[in-house]
């Protein structure tokens, strides 16, 4: 292949096995690509060329020695900076953690190392994963490779942009309210939020512990499935980790490509359409439904009336949990320390300087919502809404095997456009948040580009808890049908970036 950065992770793995390319060559090709375009895209906060090449060399030597290797051995990967990586800077996009090098690996980091995948570096994100545009990063925004004046989504804009810019074939993301799926949608890539507890959170810097979930980011459904199986599984270090086998995502994706969808019921969530949804986004969504029908699926409409309150409930539960999780950044244990006369003032000055506006906004909101006089009215009510949303999902899954919607109401907006309007920013996640409140899995895949602006649109598939494999089956079936319709895989249609010579 002329340019290995254009291959899928599955193709790379097969080519290494067949002796057509080495991991060093693959890793170097991606490092070269990062060097060429990341000045514009800014997907990475830290690039570890030496570490990645060292792993690649080990894999090549092991392969040459005839060693049995894991499926993705030698395939390079980008890691969201929310995951702690021993000896490699970890900031969660915050100035308060500038210069911090974790003394240990997150479970998922360890699994990537055990899978023998070279880690290219750490990707940019909204500070502590709060945001939908990566503009809240303490280190400057990431830009969307489809149009550098537009946002790549958030909080995991760096991971998604690294895939769309061909800087990495796979990446890790975290999804608390949509931070894997929404960036995937606006960059024309694939992103999956597994069932809550399906992937260990140990060593993932916590935003809101009852909502957070790590997951795979990729350019194809099959690649996401391959990475999902690397990441998933029980972990005694995480008290909420599910004690059950990793779902068979890869087999399900294969089944989706090879078999029709006869007998599969697809539920369209009525509340996630209409007002606020861009015409081209809805058009591509409808076309995808037709493709699913043509493959034999039955499409029904379902109603989830409580979704109307999902965003409001989320923006009480998330800040409440975040205000508690972020208390540990106190100038004593990690990173930044702004020295003042007393301990209290040192803590205050450090947090004032180290945290950005969005983080402060949410800490204040969360502290208020949890205060004695308001707890029942705010946090308590939000928890009740959460139960109603879970019930809506349970009822909807009686009528359908999977539920679907556009992933985001619009294509990517311009940088700066919503920065001063938190509510407009929050509305991006209106279709992704319900899944986090219910703990169910969600997958976003590209459904095309909107006719009015030529920018990517996303199709979201939700499944009941523990049924992650189902999304891969339907996702792979749709991906194949879309590729036939569009004359090639959608991720291969990402526009070329001008490379400065
Ligand atoms: N954009 C949402 C928020 O700002 C989701 C964030 C996330 O999933 N980490 O909270």
What is the rounded CA–CA span in Å between residue 383 and residue 373?
17
What is the rounded CA–CA span in Å between residue 81 and residue 13?
25
Of 179, 147, 141, which Cα lies nearest the Cα of 164?
147
Element spanning 121, H or E? strand 119-123
Which residues belong to the active site? Answer: 80, 155, 179
Looking at 3.30.70.360, 1.25.40.80, 3.30.420.40, 3.90.1300.10, the CATH number of the domain 4-308+384-493 comes to: 3.90.1300.10
Measure Cα distances from 162 to 1, 122, 123, 190, 357 in Å. Answer: 20, 10, 8, 12, 26
pLDDT at 499: 53
**Residue 429 C-alpha to ligand 1 middle, in angstroms?**
8
Cβ of 175 below 6 Å from ligand 1:
yes
Q: Beta strands 265-269 and 77-80: pairing type?
A: unpaired
What is the rounded CA–CA span in Å between residue 80 and residue 171?
7
Measure Cα distances from 487 to 23, 72, 123, 223, 491 in Å. Answer: 30, 28, 31, 20, 12
**Residue 240 C-alpha to ligand 1 middle, in angstroms?**
20
Beta strands in 3-43 (DSSP E): none
What is the rounded CA–CA span in Å between residue 408 and residue 430?
8
Element spanning 302, H or E? strand 298-302
pLDDT at 498: 59
**Residue 315 C-alpha to ligand 1 middle, in angstroms?**
10
What is the rounded CA–CA span in Å between residue 184 and residue 448?
12
Tens digit of each residue's pLDDT, the chain (501 residues)? 679 999 999 999 999 999 999 999 999 999 999 999 999 999 999 999 999 999 999 999 999 999 999 999 999 999 999 999 999 999 999 999 999 999 999 999 999 999 999 999 999 999 999 999 999 999 999 999 999 999 999 999 999 999 999 999 999 999 999 999 999 999 999 999 999 999 999 999 999 999 999 999 999 999 999 999 999 999 999 999 999 999 999 999 999 999 999 999 999 999 999 999 999 999 999 999 999 999 999 999 999 999 999 999 999 999 999 999 999 999 988 889 999 999 999 999 999 999 999 999 999 999 999 998 998 999 999 999 999 999 999 999 999 999 999 999 999 999 999 988 888 889 899 999 999 999 999 999 999 999 999 999 999 999 999 999 999 999 999 999 999 998 877 776 777 775 543
What is the rounded CA–CA span in Å between residue 311 and residue 436?
11
Cβ of 429 below 6 Å from ligand 1:
yes
The radius of gyration computed from the CA coordinates of the chain, to the nearest angstrom, equals: 21
Its pTM surpasses 0.75? yes
Residue nearest to atom 4 of ligand 1 (CA): 131
What is the rounded CA–CA span in Å between residue 169 and residue 17?
17
3-state secondary structure 356-399: CHHHHHHHHHHHHHHCCCCCHHHHHHHHHHHHHHHHHHHHHHHH
């Amino acid at each position: 292949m002329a340019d290995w950065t254009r291959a899928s992770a599955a193709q790379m793995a097969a080519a290494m096995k067949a002796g057509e390319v080495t991991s060093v060559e693959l890793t170097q090709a991606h490092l070269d690509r990062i060097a060429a375009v990341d000045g514009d895209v800014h997907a990475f906060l830290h690039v570890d060329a030496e570490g990645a090449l060292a792993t690649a060399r080990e894999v090549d030597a092991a392969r040459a020695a005839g060693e049995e290797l894991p499926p993705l051995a030698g395939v390079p990967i980008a890691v969201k900076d929310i995951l702690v990586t021993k000896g490699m800077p970890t900031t969660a996009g915050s100035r308060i953690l500038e210069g911090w090098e974790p003394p240990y690996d997150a479970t998922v980091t360890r699994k990537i190392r055990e899978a023998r995948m070279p880690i290219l570096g750490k990707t940019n994100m909204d500070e502590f994963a709060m945001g939908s545009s990566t503009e809240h990063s303490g280190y400057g925004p990431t830009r969307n490779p489809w149009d550098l004046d537009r946002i790549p989504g958030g909080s995991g804009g760096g991971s998604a942009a690294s895939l769309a810019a061909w800087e990495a074939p796979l990446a890790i993301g975290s999804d608390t309210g949509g931070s894997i799926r929404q960036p995937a949608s606006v960059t024309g890539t694939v992103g999956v939020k597994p069932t809550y507890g399906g992937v260990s959170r140990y060593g993932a810097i916590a935003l809101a512990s009852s909502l957070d979930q790590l997951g795979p980011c990729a350019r194809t459904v099959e690649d996401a499935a391959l990475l999902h199986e690397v990441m998933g599984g029980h972990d005694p270090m995480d008290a909420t980790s599910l004690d059950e086998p990793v779902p068979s995502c890869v087999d399900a994706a294969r089944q989706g490509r090879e078999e029709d969808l006869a007998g599969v019921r697809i539920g369209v969530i009525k509340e996630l359409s209409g007002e606020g949804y861009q015409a081209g986004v809805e058009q591509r969504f409808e076309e995808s439904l037709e493709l699913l029908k043509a493959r034999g699926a039955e499409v029904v409409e379902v109603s989830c009336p409580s979704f109307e309150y999902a965003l409001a409930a989320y923006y009480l539960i998330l800040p409440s949990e975040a205000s508690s999780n972020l208390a540990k950044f106190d100038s004593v244990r990690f990173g930044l320390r702004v020295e003042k006369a007393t301990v209290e003032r040192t803590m205050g000055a450090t947090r004032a300087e180290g945290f950005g506006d969005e983080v402060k906004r949410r800490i204040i909101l969360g502290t208020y919502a949890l205060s004695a006089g308001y707890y029942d009215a705010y946090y308590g009510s939000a928890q009740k809404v959460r139960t109603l949303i879970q019930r809506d999902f349970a009822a909807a899954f009686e009528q359908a095997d999977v539920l679907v919607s556009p992933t985001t109401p619009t294509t990517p907006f311009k940088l700066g456009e919503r920065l001063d309007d938190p509510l407009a920013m929050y509305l991006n996640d209106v279709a992704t948040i319900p899944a986090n409140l219910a703990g169910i899995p969600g997958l976003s895949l590209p459904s095309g580009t909107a006719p009015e602006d030529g920018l990517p649109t996303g199709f979201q598939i939700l499944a009941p808890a523990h049924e992650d494999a189902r999304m891969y089956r339907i996702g792979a079936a749709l991906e194949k049908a879309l590729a036939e319709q569009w004359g090639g895989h959608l991720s291969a249609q990402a526009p070329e970036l001008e490379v400065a010579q």
